[in-house]
Amino acid sequence: MASSIAISLDKCTGCSLCVKACPFGAIHMANKKAVIDMAKCTLCGACVTACKFMAIELKKDSGPKKDLSGYKDVWVFCEQKKGVIQSISFELLGEGRKLADKLGVKLCAVILGSGIESKASELSERGADKIYLVDHPALKSYQDDPYTEIIVNLAEEHKPEIILCGATTIGRSLISRVAIRINAGLTADCTGLDIDPEERLLLQTRPAFGGNIMATIITPNHRPQMATVRHKVMQEAAVDKSRKAELIIKHYPEEVLKSRTKLLEIVEEISETVNLSEADIIVAGGRGLGGKEGFEMIGELAKVLGGAVGATRGAVDADWIPYSHQVGQTGKTVCPKLYIACGVSGQIQHLIGMQSSKVIVAINKDPEAPIFKVATYGIVGDIFDIVPALTKEFARSLKK
Amino acid sequence: MNIIVCIKQVPNTTDVRIDPATNTLIRDGVESVINPFDTYAIEEAARLKERCGGKVTAITMGPPQAESALKEAISLGCDEGILVSDRKFAGSDTWATSYTLAAAIRKITDFDVILCGKQASDGDTAQVGPGISAHLNIPQVTYVKRIVEISAGAAKVERMTEEGYDIVETPLPCLFTVVKEINTPRMPSFKGMMRAKSAKILKWTADDIEADPAALGLDGSPTRVVKIFTPEARKGGETLSGATDDVSKELVELLKDLVI
Amino acid sequence: MDYLLTEQQVMMRDLARKIADEKIKPVAAHYDETEEFAWPIMKIIADSDLFGVYIPEQYGGLGGGVMDMCLITEEFSRACGGIALGYAGTGLGTFPILLYGSDEQKQRFLPDIAKGKRLAAFCITEAGAGSDAGSIKTTAVKDGDQYILNGTKQWITNAGEAEVYTVIAITDKTKGSRGASAFIVEKGAKGMEFGKKEKKMGIRASATREVIFTDCRVPAANLISKEGMGFIVAMKTLDNSRPGVAAQAVGIAQGALDHAVEYARTRVQFGAPISSFQAIQHMLADMGTQVEAARALAYATARMVDSGAKSISKESAMSKLFASDVAMKVANDAVQIFGGYGYMRDYPVEKYLRDAKITQIYEGTNQIQRNVIAGHMIKESLKKQP
């Protein structure tokens, strides 16, 4: 039986609550009854929840129940670069620990690399019960083919029920391929993860439409349940030196390690001292800065705070600062502890990229600027007065 | 060189507004546009064609109105457009979407390069591009910021990383997802628009692409949306006022735990 | 107002609007400030095919007319009157070839202009010959199969940036205005130099320079029409191009008006948006009505030109006169609505006021336009006398 959605004309009162609730604009009113445009409908069910009269019936065909009992444990794919385990891995271990405890299963770290055996202890200290480690020169740096093959092989052999992965350039490239190969469900950029204790389902909550709505997603009938999480969304697992994990070293034949693409060179560009998406503090500027000199001014503040410099698209398009600094829809998404927006009006495209920052400070001379609607602290005034004063004041207070 | 560009029609986020009373999306008058990230893929395809000759085919999966996105792609340098559309695709997650697009691409048979934007602006998953290459079992390079060299059977590209970039060599056919740095998309040309106006868009259904019905739409999607809700809107906080020096002192004091 | 544009015209206008909004608007203040010539924008316009709208298809254009050029000029001017002039000035420089050039000359020059590969410029004004175009001093003397040009043209739009120059010079001093001829001179010709770039009040993104000819040899094949036709070529060119100036003025006025309405809507004083005050509402209403009237006159004139009407001088002068006066008034009122902010260069409206002023001056001052209009009216009345 295929999935379907239908509106009961008897029950529909024409209240149009469902029209407002539909995130895809697929419902309209005709003759005081709701009508669903099936070309736009994605069967998400938002209207079903919104309807107060139980007039919408959604039948989701989940197919014949599969036996999923063979799958257990929570896995975390741990990313390493040049043999250094990336902090995203510790954040995922922190979150994975909670999920594993709720399910009463083991937390397993998976790590691939070359000459990394000594790194296993770092993963056990961060809460892993079991570590799957594959060590081979071909795995020194990330390459799509061998990494995919190995994760596929491991998952098929050991059958985890959950795999978590960082929403990094590596993670997103790798895990999307793995999900297809092992026919698993994958949810990107989760901001919240939880367990439905009855069904043992992973509840994956993620923003959609630039964070304007949130969706909770499950994978009812496929295993493993896979999710990616952005950097800095979850808390790092605390270090417990006393913890010991079971280390399982796996070996794979050459054909598994083969790569069709060839990594010729890794180029590091140190254009600034702090990577924007890694930064705990970002001082960002918009068109209000008026030019390159304005960015020098906020650069001073960023330097004092040990933070990075961000920019709006307007400032980037005006060539005041390179694109690598752009925050927002067509730039980077960031969630630092502190985001100081200087002369930023707060266009929706910019807000999308920074509104999950923990504390937002907005400085703008226009009291009506939309940025103040999301700011924790707002200062209405001239950035050219306030920013230098702040720089001086922070420099003074940090010296103490 | 035969190039395929995968595009998606998305709501223009510039137009997306939230109804402050109901806290829901206001969809009225929201224009549909080509996913901004896909415009870089289209431009790169047009440039590859100018560089190496050949043909550019734009392909999209979506409702009938997505035809306009394909026409726009033609005005921007693509030669033809294929709309993969069927009610059976409703409710597709990234798994089923990449399956469907891969099936359609398989029907095209002869291709050297597949280009995709790094992600779509409405879903932001970045999963469909790699998904297509996995279904087709061809190599991929994601986050490509420059195609350095390209010939009949191989390419050398630069892939963006958090720290800089990797230089990667790959055999063709290969799928690339591209980032904004790769180019500046051109404006449509008037002659291109006229060509697009008269261009015939191929329309393929589930039957045409010989897809397994069980792998399509909601039924073919491992994931299910069980709840959609509006997050608590972020509230504006305190406004600090007073003389510059006082305000600065006050703010530094408020932030002292964050700034160490 | 619905001007019953063809489907093709709507597409052209929308494309021009897209370029204006996405490419010109973000850089308008930059080019105004630096006074650089906006080559990156010219390249974008070139790639869009819009340089060719008024050039026949057989010469690589889109086969439209003055109306089409007006639609495009208006859209560009809405974002920046100075950048728009790089486009419209090329039209002005091209008209002599389009209207009076031989097929060979058209084959030689129009395809590159249509593609935007080469810009054009029209050279008539001299230090002593502004409104009094009859007192041109630049000479062209025939020498075998060449002409030797001597003299200095002043305030030439696109000079230094353009590749193709149409130049009015005197070939026979004894014949007065019938002794003038028109020539095509290509940039790089020996004996052709450019003076320093002028510093202007407005339209600062456009390039204005002297063009100096010192024994500059031009092939006789570059003579447009025949000797003695120079003045007619010039007058017909200006008749054809004035609706373009009107369109530029309409665009500037519309741009200023758009800013004014938006500002009035969002600026709060005495606890209410200033758009709720009748004083502001009446200003906006007058501005809107004037812009629409100017547009209607400009379009009607452009369509009349395209229909092949023989006598267009009066209407062409009217469209330019009226639209430029409207631009000046509307931009002035827009600054007024912005109040103190309007006077600041951080805000966009004062630029519209500076840009608007030139449209009352160039291609014939508005006083000259009035002379032309009145002259025609009197002549027409005389003809009616038995």
Closest CA to C368 of C324, C330, C327, C331: C324
Domain final residue pick, C200, C230, C260: C230
pLDDT at C294 over 80: yes
Q: Largest alpha-carbon pair distance within chain C?
A: 78
| Amino acid residing at C124 | I
Nearest C-alpha of chain C: how many angstroms from B220?
40
In the 8-state DSSP scheme, what is residue A332? B
Domain final residue pick, C93, C119, C145: C119
Q: Helix, strand, or coil here: A63?
A: coil
pLDDT at A1 over 50: no
Residue C241 vs residue B253, higher pLDDT:
C241
Name the residue in chain B with its Cα closest to that of C20.
B187
Neighbours of B23 (CB within 10 A): 15
Name the residue in chain B with its Cα closest to that of A148.
B134
Residue of C227, C315, C363, C380 marked active site: C363
Instruction: Return the minimum-mean-pLDDT range out of A1-5, C107-111, C298-302, C341-345.
Output: A1-5
pLDDT at A353 over 90: no
Chain C partners (3+ C-beta pairs within 8 A): A, B
CB contact under 8 A, C266 and A314: no
pLDDT of A273? 46
> Which of B:135-194 have CB within 8 Å of C?
186-191, 193-194
Q: Answer whether residue C1 is part of any domain.
A: no
DSSP-assigned letters across all residues of chain B: -EEEEEE-EEE-TTT-EE-TTT--EE-TTPPEEE-HHHHHHHHHHHHHHHHH--EEEEEEES-GGGHHHHHHHHHTT-SEEEEE--GGGTT--HHHHHHHHHHHHHHH---SEEEEESS-TTT----HHHHHHHHHT--EEEEEEEEEEE-SSEEEEEEE-SSEEEEEEEESSEEEEE-GGG--PPPPPHHHHHHHHHPPPEEE-TTTTT--GGGSTGGG-S-EEEEEEPPPPPPP-EEE-S-HHHHHHHHHHHTTTT--
Closest CA to B97 of B209, B16, B18, B258: B209
- Check whether the bond before B171 is cis (ω within 30° of 0): no
The encoded tokens of residue B241 equal 């006022």
- The verdict on C248 and C377 lying in the same domain is yes
- The verdict on C273 and C372 lying in the same domain is yes
Which residue segment(s) compose the domain that C278 sits in?
238-384
Angle among Cα B13, B19, B20 to the nearest 5 degrees reads 125
CB contact under 8 A, B187 and C62: no
pLDDT band of residue C132 (cuts 50, 70, 90) is confident
Q: Does A368 lie at the interface with C, CB-CB under 8 angstroms?
A: yes
Interval B101-143: pLDDT, tens: 999 999 998 999 999 999 988 878 899 999 999 999 999 999 9
For residue C257, which phi and psi values (nearest 5 degrees)? Answer: -65, -45
Nearest C-alpha of chain B: how many angstroms from C49?
6
Domain final residue pick, C230, C258, C291: C230
Extents of the domains making up chain A? 4-59, 74-257, 276-399
C11: which chain B residues are within 8 Å (Cβ-Cβ)?
190, 193-194, 197
- The verdict on C254 and C378 lying in the same domain is yes
pTM for the model stands at 0.82
CATH number, domain at C144? 2.40.110.10
Interval C176-214: pLDDT, tens: 889 999 999 999 999 999 999 999 999 999 999 999 999
Q: Averaged over B87-99, what is the pLDDT?
A: 92
User: Could you identify the residue written with the tokens 């739409």?
Assistant: B217
User: Could you identify the residue written with the tokens 């991929």?
Assistant: B140
> Which of C:345-384 have CB within 8 Å of A?
346
For chain C, the average pLDDT equals 96
Q: Answer whether residue C41 is part of any domain.
A: yes
pLDDT at A72 over 60: yes
B-C contacts at Cβ under 8 angstroms: 31
pLDDT of A208? 75
Distance CA A14, CA A12 (A): 6
**CB of C73 closer than 8 Å to CB of C251:** yes
CB contact under 8 A, B193 and C23: no
Cα dihedral A189, A195, A198, A199 sign: positive
CB contact under 8 A, C48 and B194: no
Distance CA A164, CA A193 (A): 10
Q: Helix, strand, or coil here: C312?
A: coil
Global ipTM:
0.89
pLDDT at A329 over 90: no
Is A276-399 in the same CATH topology as A74-257? Answer: yes
Closest CA to A383 of A273, A282, A275, A296: A296
How far lies C308's CA from each of B213, C98, C302, C303, C311, in Å? 63, 14, 10, 9, 9
pLDDT at A151 over 60: yes
C268: which chain A residues are within 8 Å (Cβ-Cβ)?
368
Instruction: Return the minimum-mean-pLDDT range out of A340-354, B168-182, C89-103, C174-188.
Output: A340-354
Q: Averaged over C294-311, what is the pLDDT?
A: 96
CB contact under 8 A, C266 and A317: no
- The verdict on C215 and C284 lying in the same domain is no
Tell me the Ramachandran region of residue C188: left when phi exceeds 0, alpha when psi lies from -120 to 50, beta otherwise.
Answer: left
Nearest C-alpha of chain B: how many angstroms from C107?
20
Residue B19 vs residue C79, higher pLDDT:
C79
CB contact under 8 A, A374 and B234: yes
Nearest C-alpha of chain C: how many angstroms from B232?
27
Interval A193-214: pLDDT, tens: 999 988 889 999 988 766 667 8
pLDDT band of residue A253 (cuts 50, 70, 90) is very high
Q: Does B233 lie at the interface with C, CB-CB under 8 angstroms?
A: no
Instruction: Return the minimum-mean-pLDDT range out of A323-327, B57-61, B176-180.
Output: A323-327
Extents of the domains making up chain B? 2-226
pLDDT band of residue A129 (cuts 50, 70, 90) is very high
Closest CA to A95 of A121, A103, A72: A103
State how many domains chain C has: 3
DSSP-assigned letters across all residues of A180-227: HHTT-EEE-S-SEEEEETTTTEEEEEEEETTTTEEEEEE-SS-SSEEE
- The verdict on C296 and C344 lying in the same domain is yes
Nearest C-alpha of chain A: how many angstroms from B165?
5
pLDDT of B121? 81
Q: Averaged over A83-110, what is the pLDDT?
A: 95
CB contact under 8 A, C19 and B193: no
For chain A, the average pLDDT equals 89
How far lies C319's CA from each of B135, C251, C325, C372, in Å? 63, 13, 10, 12
Instruction: Return the minimum-mean-pLDDT range out of A34-38, B94-98, C66-70, C198-202.
Output: A34-38
pLDDT at B203 over 90: yes
CB contact under 8 A, C22 and B186: no
Q: Averaged over C21-30, what is the pLDDT?
A: 94
Q: Does B52 lie at the interface with C, CB-CB under 8 angstroms?
A: no
CB contact under 8 A, A314 and C30: no
A286: which chain C residues are within 8 Å (Cβ-Cβ)?
none
Name the residue facing A185 among B123, B174, B223 (closest C-beta). B223
Select the CATH number that applies to the domain covering A4-59 from these four: 1.20.1260.10, 3.40.50.980, 3.30.70.20, 3.40.50.300. 3.30.70.20
pLDDT of A356? 79
DSSP-assigned letters across all residues of C14-36: HHHHHHIIIIIHHHHHHHHHH--
B251: which chain A residues are within 8 Å (Cβ-Cβ)?
361, 377, 379, 390, 393
Q: Averaged over A155-182, what is the pLDDT?
A: 95
Nearest C-alpha of chain A: how many angstroms from C297?
37
- The verdict on C248 and C326 lying in the same domain is yes
Instruction: Return the minimum-mean-pLDDT range out of B186-190, C47-51, C130-134, C327-331.
Output: C130-134
CB contact under 8 A, A290 and C26: no
pLDDT of C374? 98
pLDDT at A66 over 90: no
pLDDT at C143 over 70: yes
> Which of B:41-100 have CB within 8 Å of A?
63-65, 85, 87-88, 90-95, 98-99
Select the CATH number that applies to the domain covering A276-399 from these four: 3.40.710.10, 1.10.760.10, 3.40.190.10, 3.40.50.1220. 3.40.50.1220
Closest CA to A288 of A343, A247, A237, A334: A343
Name the residue in chain B with its Cα closest to that of C23.
B187
B188: which chain C residues are within 8 Å (Cβ-Cβ)?
15, 18, 48
Name the residue in chain C with its Cα closest to that of B186.
C44
Q: Averaged over A105-125, what is the pLDDT?
A: 95
B65: which chain A residues are within 8 Å (Cβ-Cβ)?
39
In CATH terms, the fold of domain B2-226 is: Rossmann fold (3.40.50)
Write the CATH number of the domain with boundaries A74-257: 3.40.50.620
B174: which chain A residues are within 8 Å (Cβ-Cβ)?
261
Nearest C-alpha of chain A: how many angstroms from B16?
8
pLDDT at C145 over 90: yes
- The verdict on C365 and C249 lying in the same domain is yes
- The reply to whether C74 belongs to the active site is no
Interval C51-98: pLDDT, tens: 999 999 999 999 999 999 999 999 999 999 999 999 999 999 999 999
pLDDT at B235 over 80: no
pLDDT band of residue C239 (cuts 50, 70, 90) is very high
